[in-house]
Structure 1
């Protein structure tokens, strides 16, 4: 009985791993540290100010 139990547990473990690989859960977004988030937020406003708005250009034509 012990041998059967070991074999069954090994096979079920392999089965579970195969199922997880085939059907991954929705991946969480990569962790971004607080310092990096602040850098990104600081960079965003400067980029937004430098780019012209497309809607204004189309109304002038």
Structure 2
């Protein structure tokens, strides 16, 4: 019984991993607070440089 159960668990785990690879995640990747602040700062700098060149 235990041997059968163990084999069944292994096969189920493999099938689950294969299924997960076929169906990619729907949620966007998590971006940390520090990373968001960094991106925001870069966008502000780009906006400032664009307004300087157009004036």
Aligned length: 51
Q: Distance in 2 between matches of 1:37 and 1:8?
A: 47
Which has the higher Rg, Structure 1 or Structure 2? 1
> Could you list the runs of 4 or more consecutive aligned residues of structure 1 that deviate by over 6 angstroms after TM superposition?
none
TM-score of the superposed pair, with normalisation by structure 2:
0.65
Gaps of 5+ in 2: none
Aligned-residue RMSD, C-alpha: 2.3
Name the counterpart of 1:58: none
Higher-helix-fraction structure: 2
**Structure 1 residue ranges without an equivalent (≥5):** 52-61
Q: Secondary structure at the match of 2:42?
A: helix
